């Protein structure tokens, strides 16, 4: 009980610490959704990931300034999704896939004999 | 058995399984849809090397009526050292051009229903296998049931026709990610309430108040019984300086859901700013907030402010 009160107080401190636009006193729709899902705390924490995600993005050839501007457009849920994982996320780029037929067959065999699990697709 | 023949057996087994595996993706274009759709007016941006993200996003943005500069799109979504674009940045990139990206449910019928409704669908594909993926963004612009083909703007091809089973595999191996990008005020053809609310709440974080109001108003027409749609409209009205309209919107939210504390707190706050603190106090007193509610501190602070102001000016509403 005390812990819950303390946690809620912490959320408030974190909410206050975030640099929000002028109308910070209104509860946002994002907060309302998070509240319904019982995830207001995660949401507040996700916003604190912004600097980390920007720093991570800056490792992939984007200036720090531009990275900061880009992460400012990410929602809390999106920040949470990519934080610490940018290098592992699908980053689609090359539409022209040059792959030899033999290599493809070998890959299919590898997947079939259980190295990976392509046929577990629903 | 020699190793050569065992390789042969494995290869044969692989091919047989492959045939069986592909059968999993033997999807049919539903009969409920028009037999053929081709959104021929959808623009085309042949991609530069590794630029399928900016090319596909520019395509769907233009189709939604926006006119972004290709370079400005690339500036927002291309990550040079990854030689590609991330899904979350594709979403954020759409929002930064005053458009709303909605996730489409991971079913072929859902994707094609959007296409039939005139919405080109941005998809992620895996053109190789799961163990060695080759990620690619493309835009679905049509289908042909008789030929069993999906029509796309893809890479350097203005019109790529892919058999539906192949298309399903490539999409399934990319976790069935599909998005429609729409102007504020428009909803997907088969709007899923959770997905729409998520999309609009994310849009709220950075978008202009006029666009947000348009978006929540459209959602309010679709789901008038929800509290969130009215609260979202109220927040946008407030930001536009229309406090009375905000009050009306929050009251609609509370009529639907008296337990909706975000709407109740916002209503009380706006009444305070309108110089009606006693009315605001009555709004707060009409509900009983659980002591462990995460917004209890906001409630406490607002109560004190309302009390102080109401005492100062006196309550015209009380006897």
Convert the pLDDT of each residue in B103-121 to its tens digit.
999 999 999 999 999 999 9
Nearest to B84 among A75, A76, A91 (CB): A91
User: Which residue in A101, A104, A112 sits closest to B9, CA to CA?
Assistant: A112
Cβ contact B89–A121 (<8 Å): no
What are the respective helix, strand and coil percentages of chain B, to the nearest 5? 50, 15, 35
Class of domain B23-182: alpha beta
DSSP B150-202: EEEEETTEEEEEEEHHHHHHHHHTTTT-EEEEE-TT---SS--HHHHHHHHHH
Which part of chain B has CATH 1.25.40.10? 193-313
For B161, list phi and psi in degrees, rounded to 5: -110, 115
pLDDT value for A15: 55
Segment B27-49 mean pLDDT: 93
Q: What is the pLDDT of residues B164-186, one digit of tens each?
A: 999 999 999 999 999 999 999 99
Tokens of residue B38, six digits: 């081709």
Q: B25 at the A interface (CB within 8 A)? A: yes
Which part of chain B has CATH 3.90.70.10? 23-182
If one compares B49 and B87, the residue with the highest pLDDT of the two is B87
Chain B positions touching A112 (Cβ under 8 A) are 10, 13-14, 17-18
Segment A71-98 mean pLDDT: 85
Q: A49 at the B interface (CB within 8 A)? A: no
CATH superfamily placement of domain B193-313:
Tetratricopeptide repeat domain (1.25.40.10)
Cβ contact A95–B228 (<8 Å): no
pLDDT value for B140: 98
Taking the model in full, what pTM does it have? 0.85
Q: A39 at the B interface (CB within 8 A)? A: no
Q: What is the pLDDT of residues B125-166, one digit of tens each?
A: 999 888 888 999 999 999 999 999 999 999 999 999 999 999
- What ipTM is given for this predicted complex? 0.87
Give the distance from residue A99's alpha carbon to the nearest chain B alpha carbon, in angstroms: 9
In chain A, the residue whose alpha carbon lies closest to the alpha carbon of B266 is A26
Count each helix (H run) and each strand (E run) in chain B, helices first: 13, 9
Give the distance from residue A51's alpha carbon to the nearest chain B alpha carbon, in angstroms: 16
Indicate which of A25, A28, A32 best probes the interface with B, i.e. most B CBs within 10 Å of its own CB.
A32
Contacts for B142-148 with beta carbons within 8 Å, 24 or more apart? B142/B36, B142/B37, B142/B38, B142/B39, B142/B40, B142/B115, B143/B29, B143/B33, B143/B36, B143/B37, B143/B112, B143/B115, B144/B29, B144/B35, B144/B36, B145/B29, B145/B31, B145/B33, B145/B35, B145/B36, B146/B35, B146/B36, B148/B29
Assign A20 a pLDDT band (cuts: 50, 70, 90): very low
User: Which residue in B130, B161, B136, B157 sits closest to B146, CA to CA?
Assistant: B161
Indicate which of A56, A93, A101 best probes the interface with B, i.e. most B CBs within 10 Å of its own CB.
A93
CA–CA gap between residue B319 and residue B316 (Å, rounded)? 8
């Amino acid at each position: 009980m005390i812990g819950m009160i303390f946690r809620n107080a912490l959320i408030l401190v974190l909410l206050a610490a975030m640099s929000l636009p002028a109308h910070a006193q209104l509860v946002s729709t994002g907060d309302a959704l998070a509240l319904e899902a019982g995830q207001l705390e995660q949401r507040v924490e996700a916003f604190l990931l912004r600097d980390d995600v920007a720093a991570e993005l800056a490792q992939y050839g984007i200036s720090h300034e531009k990275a900061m501007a880009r992460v400012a457009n990410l929602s809390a849920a999106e920040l949470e999704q990519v934080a610490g994982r940018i290098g592992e996320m699908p980053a689609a780029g090359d539409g022209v896939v040059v792959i030899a037929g033999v290599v493809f067959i070998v890959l299919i065999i590898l997947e079939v004999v259980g190295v990976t699990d392509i046929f577990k697709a629903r | 058995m020699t190793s050569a023949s065992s390789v042969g057996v494995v290869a044969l087994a692989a091919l047989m399984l492959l045939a069986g595996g592909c059968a999993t993706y033997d999807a049919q274009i539903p009969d409920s849809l028009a037999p053929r759709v081709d959104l021929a007016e959808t623009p085309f941006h042949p991609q530069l090397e590794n630029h399928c993200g900016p090319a596909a996003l520019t395509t769907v943005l233009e189709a939604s009526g926006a006119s972004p500069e290709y370079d400005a799109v690339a500036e927002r979504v291309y990550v040079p050292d990854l030689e590609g674009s991330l899904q979350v940045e594709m979403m954020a990139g759409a929002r930064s051009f005053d458009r709303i990206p909605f996730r489409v449910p991971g079913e072929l019928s859902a994707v094609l229903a959007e296409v039939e409704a005139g919405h080109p669908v941005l998809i992620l594909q895996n053109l190789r296998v799961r163990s060695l993926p080759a990620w690619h963004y493309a835009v679905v612009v049509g289908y042909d049931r008789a030929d069993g083909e999906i029509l796309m703007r893809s890479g350097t091809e203005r019109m790529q026709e892919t058999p539906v089973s192949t298309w399903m595999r490539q999409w399934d191996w990319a976790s069935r990610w599909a998005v429609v990008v729409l102007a504020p005020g428009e909803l997907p053809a088969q709007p899923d309430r959770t997905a729409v609310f998520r999309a609009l709440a994310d849009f709220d974080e950075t978008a202009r108040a006029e666009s947000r109001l348009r978006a929540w108003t459209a959602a309010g027409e679709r789901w008038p019984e929800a509290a969130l749609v009215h609260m979202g409209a109220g927040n946008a009205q407030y930001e536009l300086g229309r406090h009375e309209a905000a009050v009306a919107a929050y009251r609609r939210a509370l009529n639907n859901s008296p337990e909706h504390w975000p709407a109740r707190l916002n209503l009380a706050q706006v009444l305070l700013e309108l110089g009606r603190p006693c009315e605001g106090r009555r709004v707060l007193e009409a509900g009983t907030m659980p002591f462990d509610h995460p917004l209890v501190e906001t409630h406490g602070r607002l109560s004190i402010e309302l009390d102080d102001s109401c005492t100062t000016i006196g309550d015209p509403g009380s006897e």
